[in-house]
Amino acid sequence: MLIKSTRRPSVPELRIPAEQPAPAPESASDNDDDLNIGLLAGTAGDRIGHFVRGVTQESLQHLRYISAANAFQNVGSALGSLALTPLAIRLASDNAPLIGGLAIGGTVAAGAVGAVLGYAWLYRKDGKDEHKVKEFSKAADTALSVGAALQSLPKFVYPSVVGATDAQIETIYNALDKLPLHQATASSTMQVIPGLVKTGISGMAQPGDSHIHVLLDESYINNPNRAEGLVLHEQAHAVDYSGGFGLLGAHNWKGGFGTGPFVSGYAETNRYEDFAESFEAYHTDPEAFRLAFPEKAAAIEKISHADPLSAAADQAGVRSAGRRIGATLGKVPLLRTGLEIAGSLVGPIQTHRGASKLIEGLESGDQAQQLDGKLNLATGLFLGLPGARPLALATGIAGSALRLTSRENNEAHMEQANKWANRVLAVSAGPVGMTVGAIVGEMEANGLKMDESKGFSPDGWQSSRPGKGAMLKGTLATVGGTIGGALLGAAVGGALSGTPGAFLGALWGQAAGGVTGLAGYSIHRTLKEAKKEGDPLALTSSDKQFLKKTVGGAVVGAGVGTVAGAMGGRLLGQMVGQAFGGPGAASVMGSVGGWVGALSLAYGGGKLGAGIGSGRILGKEPLQSPENPGLQAS
Ligand SMILES: [Zn+2]
């Protein structure tokens, strides 16, 4: 993904059906061309460059599809929740499993339907107009930037309550005031429902993809002995789900929840209810809870520390503004819901637009468009990463500065700006981006020039566009990977630590399997494309050897570096934070240190691994060299 293309007159509509190998006169005179130093300077570089370009194009295309599906999923689950919850309440009479299944299961299912629809929509659209990027109007552009900035600011608006009197809202907000601001705002909408308790439940928290919606029984809210407990219990579920990636990142996996001793009979139901009951009890009487359940108390205290921005926002004035805004938005039916859905779309839309613009910029050679694409993409990725949202704001500000200082007609400036954008993009893609950066760096160190001579020209980019069929197969491989990974992860996790291990293993296996499926398919397809009869750019077996060793070395090095860096960085950050600002600062500095350590050692480890893999660092016999010309033959 970290590739630049030099500018040349653009022919955006041109599609080249067959590969047009870059003119490579140097291949014949490799041995005496002093400018071409390095293993990949000759024809091997042409072939590997061609391969890199294909995988990059394919990955960007898949990002477009995944982000479209994600946007539709957010809308789908919100609509599903709106439609199914009233139905569930009407149907369920003293039947808690039925209402839970319909309202929560239905929300998740509607989200999945939305994701499929989003994918199908883009699939159709791409078939029609060859996925040309629509020019967004200035107004839409500005709205998106403002949306991204708002999304990256700390949340301070209290949940909007519908179906409630002012007195009931007051009761609910007062209960939420017992929590730190980032937890008081963990849910976005609440609904007070007369007679909810007849369905068998007094409240429920629905984990939607755009926001969390809480149902509260009216008789409980009117009862001074029960109101606070109910609000704290339901808000606890919202806090639990907000660890990142919804149910995937729930906090209750750590801290001994789901195992005794239990604070109440209801807490024994499952780990989710244990977390909610414990959270409620902790905030009702911290001292007593801490004495009886030290491990669970420590876990609850750990997540009560906010990130630095949210902690700074936790002021009386901000809170009272947040209460007023929350209550006012609740006066207009569905207004808050609509705002939350719109907000949740900013990340996926920025990712989608970023990938589309970057592809178009690469295909037309327009550096300004490439820069826009990279910055949008980074913003979108940061918004999707738990804990990385403030970086989206930083990217937006840095992007405006880059655009201002680099005029489109100044090529040198533009090139420099694109180099900076590459770095931002690598950071926004986390350890994966760092690994890719290390691999690209190693290839450059081996003499591969990512320029027109290796096919990184507008025509070259266009010729590596995957067709619709390839996109669909890639998705199937990704989905297949998630299922396979989930099963494998469940088996391994289950063997290691029983049911909770199986759950966690399945969740992580799913993510790893999806990435493996997608990457595996992209590589498989690019290899197959190149195998087409007589293609001079098909990888030879020695090219594959080189790639395997270099990429394999980078992945292993980056993997080890990520784990070591995260652990070391966290420890170091905690020590520094503890020394200067006590436990709160220790927790914040620990997580900052963990991220910084993981990213920097992922890059360092990846670079070292790639260098060892390619043989460059240990000074081993190079896989290909002027003295070893046999490897250059196709
Ligand atoms: Zn509950």
C-alpha–C-alpha distance, residues 438 and 446, integer Å: 12
> Helix crossing, 367-384 with 335-364: angle to 10°?
140
Instruction: Compute the distance from residue 276 Cα to the ligand 1 centre, in Å.
Output: 6
Q: Is the pLDDT of residue 10 over 80?
A: no
Instruction: Compute the distance from residue 238 Cα to the ligand 1 centre, in Å.
Output: 10
Instruction: Compute the distance from residue 263 Cα to the ligand 1 centre, in Å.
Output: 13
Tokens for 573?
A: 């950050």
Ordered by where they begin, the domains of the chain are 25-151+338-487 (no CATH), 156-329 (3.40.390), 541-632 (no CATH)
Instruction: Compute the distance from residue 15 Cα to the ligand 1 centre, in Å.
Output: 57
Characterize the bridge pairing of strands 203-207 and 189-193.
Answer: unpaired
pLDDT of residue 246: 55
Instruction: Compute the distance from residue 335 Cα to the ligand 1 centre, in Å.
Output: 27
Instruction: Compute the distance from residue 173 Cα to the ligand 1 centre, in Å.
Output: 19
Nearest 5°: phi and psi at 24?
-130, 70
pLDDT digits (tens, 9 = 90+) for 260-279: 899 999 999 888 899 999 99
Q: Report the 10 Å Cβ neighbour count for 34.
A: 5
Instruction: Compute the distance from residue 503 Cα to the ligand 1 centre, in Å.
Output: 20
Instruction: Compute the distance from residue 75 Cα to the ligand 1 centre, in Å.
Output: 25
C-alpha–C-alpha distance, residues 402 and 354, integer Å: 16
Instruction: Compute the distance from residue 515 Cα to the ligand 1 centre, in Å.
Output: 34
C-alpha–C-alpha distance, residues 593 and 629, integer Å: 47
pLDDT of residue 19: 39
Instruction: Compute the distance from residue 204 Cα to the ligand 1 centre, in Å.
Output: 6
Instruction: Compute the distance from residue 160 Cα to the ligand 1 centre, in Å.
Output: 20
Smallest CA-to-CA distance from 176 within 163, 187, 167 is with: 187
pLDDT digits (tens, 9 = 90+) for 216-262: 999 999 999 999 999 999 999 999 988 765 555 678 888 889 888 99
Across 276-290, 415-429, 546-560, which has the greatest mean pLDDT?
276-290
3-state secondary structure 92-152: CCCCHHHHHHHHHHHHHHHHHHHHHHHHHHHHHHHHHHCCCCCCCCHHHHHHHHHHHHHHH
The helix (H) or strand (E) run that includes residue 212 is strand 212-217
Burial annotation 340-350 (CB, 10 A radius, 16+ → b, else e): bbbbbbbbbbb
Instruction: Compute the distance from residue 386 Cα to the ligand 1 centre, in Å.
Output: 24
pLDDT digits (tens, 9 = 90+) for 17-33: 333 444 444 343 344 34
Residue 385, burial from CB neighbour count under 10 angstroms (0-12, 13-18, 19+): middle
Q: Is the pLDDT of residue 547 over 90?
A: no
Q: Which residues pair with 213 in a beta bridge?
A: 189, 206
Instruction: Compute the distance from residue 181 Cα to the ligand 1 centre, in Å.
Output: 21
Instruction: Compute the distance from residue 100 Cα to the ligand 1 centre, in Å.
Output: 10
Across 69-78, 127-136, 292-301, which has the greatest mean pLDDT?
292-301
Instruction: Compute the distance from residue 206 Cα to the ligand 1 centre, in Å.
Output: 10
Instruction: Compute the distance from residue 234 Cα to the ligand 1 centre, in Å.
Output: 6
Q: How many CA atoms lie within 13 A of 527 on its CB side?
A: 12
Instruction: Compute the distance from residue 486 Cα to the ligand 1 centre, in Å.
Output: 27
Instruction: Compute the distance from residue 244 Cα to the ligand 1 centre, in Å.
Output: 19
pLDDT digits (tens, 9 = 90+) for 164-198: 999 999 999 999 999 999 999 999 999 999 988 88
pLDDT of residue 527: 73
Which alpha helices (H) appear in 251-315, and where do they start and end?
A: 271-284, 286-292, 294-303, 308-313
Q: What type of residue is 110?
A: A
First-to-last CA distance in the chain?
A: 26
Instruction: Compute the distance from residue 50 Cα to the ligand 1 centre, in Å.
Output: 55
